[in-house]
Amino acid sequence: MKKTGWFCTYTPVELIHAANVIPYGIRSDSKAEHEDVLLGDSMCSYVRSCMGGALTNVYDDLSGVVIAHSCECMRRLSDGWKFRQNQIKPKLIHILDIPKVVSESSIKFFASSLKRLKNDLEKEYGPISDESIRSSIEKYKITRTLFKEIDDLRKNENTSITGIEIEELVNDYFAIPVEVFNEKLKKFIDSKKDSDSPDSRPRVMIAGGPGNKSLIKTIEESGGLCVAENMCTGLRAFAGTYGEEKDPFDLLARLYLDKTPCPRMLGEKSREKTQELPQLINDYKVDGIIYFSMKFCANMQMDWALLKNHTNLDIPMKVIEGDISSEINEREVYSFIKRLKKRKKKNES
């Protein structure tokens, strides 16, 4: 079965799936970010990893890519991909512009962008009926529902679900067919439903953008428990509320634009993110936040400054600034977890 790559969780993968193609989420695992000699060193490490991967044939098994114009670095990735098109195997390249504000007009405009995406997919993979889009929407709706169930289990104080287990699931979501993934989620839920046991570890929320693969492991090896990942490779990949729209493009446009926002979003939607944070902290019983701010991502860096300087939260927060695949400073994480433990103990007594 053919695969089409996608980069950003604002990409409605349902449309790719409806083309009878596996949507393949491109992560930061190309191991080739230093091979990118095209975009320069002021690009974020995720984009450098993707460009490096493209230039070193990592994505040769893909038949196309949908590059979301989600930020200025992704903009340059789309340039680089087109610029070196003759050296990169995936044939289809579609640049999908994603609005940064949420309004009725931006949803309408985005829906129209999605129709153009469908047209491009059809040129490569053949006709896509509204029926097949609706069927894909239903399948991904199951994914979202199941993930919501897992999230609810994680809100429990004595949850047995670890951040590492969730990270593995998210990795699967990016790579395998949704039908197989849904079965996996069901089994996972069954295995976790009645397995709660007392747990005194400090509960950590990770915020930011695409995560660093060593981060969750380092947090949990340092004695913390990750209970929520407010990032593209976590909560935000499965967030969203289904509306009543009959037209599948309108439905997808609203579902994706109006979901839990990424730091790229602006206006009221962005403010929502800060306003919702206390509720999330309360729901997941979070003891501390680690914000992973990717170097050279202006949106995350600004987001952190807003959070740290102007958001009054009653729990400790720490920023870790780094590359997407760089090593995490274990001592830094360890001392933060130690602080959370002391604080938790003090609060409990």
Interface with other proteins by CB under 8 A: which residues? 37-40, 42-43, 69, 71-73, 75-76, 78-80, 82-83, 95, 97, 99-101, 103, 105-106, 108-109, 112, 116, 119, 263-264, 266-267, 270-271, 293, 295-296, 298-299, 301-306, 308-310, 319, 321
For the bound state, the minimum distance from the C-beta of residue 108 to other proteins, rounded and expressed in Å, comes to 8
CB of 128 to other proteins, least distance (A): 17
CA 245 to chain centre: 25
* Torsion, CA 213, CA 216, CA 219, CA 222, rounded to 10: -80
DSSP state of 211: P
Q: Tokens 């309360």 — which residue? A: 282
Q: Based on CB atoms, which residue is closest to other proteins, 16 or 77?
A: 77
The nearer residue to other proteins, 54 or 170, going by C-beta atoms, is 54
To which residue do tokens 């699967």 refer? 172
CB of 24 or CB of 291, closer to other proteins: 291
| Cβ proximity to other proteins, 39 vs 328, nearer residue | 39
Minimum distance of other proteins from residue 83's CB (angstroms): 5
- Mention every residue, 6+ apart, whose C-beta is less than 8 A from residue 246: none
Q: Which is nearer to other proteins, 180 or 298 (CB)?
A: 298
C-beta of 178 vs 300, nearer to other proteins: 300
* CB 304, min distance to other proteins, A: 6
Q: How far is the CB of 228 from other proteins (least distance, A)?
A: 22
Edge to edge, the sheet with strand 92-97 lists: 22-25, 3-6, 64-69, 92-97
CA gap 47, 8 in Å, rounded: 11
Residue with tokens 């490096």: 52
Going from the C-alpha of 317 to that of each of 212, 282, 289, the distances in angstroms are: 17, 15, 5
- AA identity, residue 135: S
Query: At its nearest, how many Å lie between other proteins and the CB of residue 205?
Result: 18
User: What tokens were used for 200?
Assistant: 């005194």
Q: Which is nearer to other proteins, 138 or 267 (CB)?
A: 267
Amino acid at 235: L
| Closer Cβ to other proteins, 71 or 204, answer by number | 71
Neighbour-count burial for 44-58, b at 16+ CB within 10 Å, e otherwise: bbbbbbbbbbbbeeb
Min separation Cβ 66 and other proteins, Å: 13
CB of 157 to other proteins, least distance (A): 31
The residue type of 221 is E
What is the distance between the alpha carbons of residues 186 and 182, in angstroms, rounded to a whole number?
Answer: 6
CB nearer to other proteins: pick between 72 and 332: 72
Q: Which long-range contacts (CB under 8 A, 24 or more apart) does 133-138 make?
A: 133/14, 133/15, 133/18, 133/248, 133/249, 133/252, 134/248, 135/18, 136/14, 136/15, 136/17, 136/18, 136/178, 137/14, 137/248, 137/251, 137/252
SS3 (DSSP) at 91: coil
